[in-house]
Amino acid sequence: MARLIVGLIAVLTLISGAAYYLFQEDVSFCVSFTDAKKLSAGDRVYLSGQPVGKVVKIMPDKGKISVAVHIDREYRDQFTSKSSFFIEPDITTPGHMSLLVRNSTFNEGIRLKLTDKVDGIDSFLVWSSLEVADRVHGMVRSEKWQELLQKVDLIAQDLKRTIKQIDVDRLGAELSLDVESLSKNIDSALQLNGSKRGIYDVQNQIDNIQQKIKCLGDSEESRQLQEALNIFQKRLMKEIH
């Protein structure tokens, strides 16, 4: 009898342990990215700086990467179709990446359910730009508005002048064409007319160029171009925040 009781306790312990493990490892939803950026299973998920879950699995998905995440139960109602997801280094764990989540001030989307799949954003600066676009959309075309447009135009022209001084042809034909396209489109794309699309396109184009620069290796031209793009983005964010 004693052996039977001990056996039952052991079985129940195993079952409860397995159930706990499965519960911890379940998938709350999936986020789709163009590039996983060395994100790995087990890396943390942060919501506005607070750890709320972890990455369960990373899978190829129709030319993209699908990141399955587990969110702790008490935080699951914080995630909606309006939440923004992006991948950045985990500053608390050197050598690891993390999935960061930010909720817009106007975060009134539909709550994410089990098996839902949402699109991630491949750049923090793109996310910042979308937030800015939300605010710009409600601005009145006042004198301040015109001053802002003039400042943005000056920043854009400074970038174009700097790019002209860099021998981008030495960075390869593909990157040279990307930079030329950016220079041609930057005026119309940064008119801040209330459209998210214009700001998103420029930031996404810059992000793509910066990723290609990293793949090319170190050179004087690549450093100059990377620095010019970084300065442009910082100045732009400073003016429109």
Neighbour count for residue 220 (Cβ, 10 Å): 10
Query: In this structure, are 128 and 236 located in the same domain?
Result: yes
Residues 113 and 151 placed together within one structural domain of the fold = no
Calpha distance 1→23 (Å, rounded)? 33
- Please tell me the predicted confidence (pLDDT) of residue 14: 43
Separation CA 15–CA 71 (nearest Å): 22
| Predicted local distance difference test score (pLDDT) of residue 70 | 93
User: 27, 68 in Cβ contact below 8 A?
Assistant: yes
State the residue range of the domain holding 70: 27-119
CB atoms near residue 226 (< 10 Å):
15
Per-residue buried b or exposed e for 197-213, using 16+ beta carbons within 10 Å of the residue's own CB: ebbbbbbbbbbbbbebb
Tell me: do 101 and 132 sit in the same domain.
no
**Quick one: 41 and 57 in the same domain?**
yes
Task: Kindly state whether residues 157 and 225 are assigned to the same domain.
Answer: yes
Asked, for residue 58, whether it belongs to a domain, the answer is yes
Q: Note whether residue 16 is domain-resident.
A: no
Residue 11 is predicted with a pLDDT of 42
User: Is 18 among the domain residues?
Assistant: no
Q: What is the pLDDT of residue 45?
A: 94
Distance in angstroms (rounded) separating the CA atoms of residues 128 and 204: 12
Strand arrangement, sheet containing 29-33: 84-89, 97-102, 44-47, 50-61, 64-71, 29-33, 117-119
The stretches of the chain forming alpha helices (DSSP H) are 2-25, 124-137, 143-164, 173-189, 196-216, 220-240
Q: Note whether 111 and 40 are same-domain residues.
A: yes
Same domain? For 154 and 132 the reply is yes
The reply to whether 128 and 170 lie within a common domain is yes
Total count of domains within the chain: 2
51-96 pLDDT, tens digit each: 999 999 999 988 888 999 999 989 888 888 878 888 888 878 888 8
How confident is the model at residue 68, as a pLDDT?
93
* 65 and 101, same domain (yes or no): yes
Q: How far, in Å, CA of 88 to CA of 222, rounded?
A: 22
Q: Please indicate, yes or no, whether residues 197 and 165 belong to a single structural domain of this protein.
A: yes
Instruction: Say yes or no: 31 and 111 in one domain.
Output: yes
Q: Which amino acid is at 118?
A: V
Q: For the chain, which residues score pLDDT lower than 70?
A: 1-25, 104-109, 122-146, 148-149, 187-201, 239-241
Closest CA to 65 of 79, 50, 86, 44: 86
The whole-angstrom distance between residue 109's C-alpha and the CA centroid of its chain comes to 18
pLDDT reported for residue 143: 64
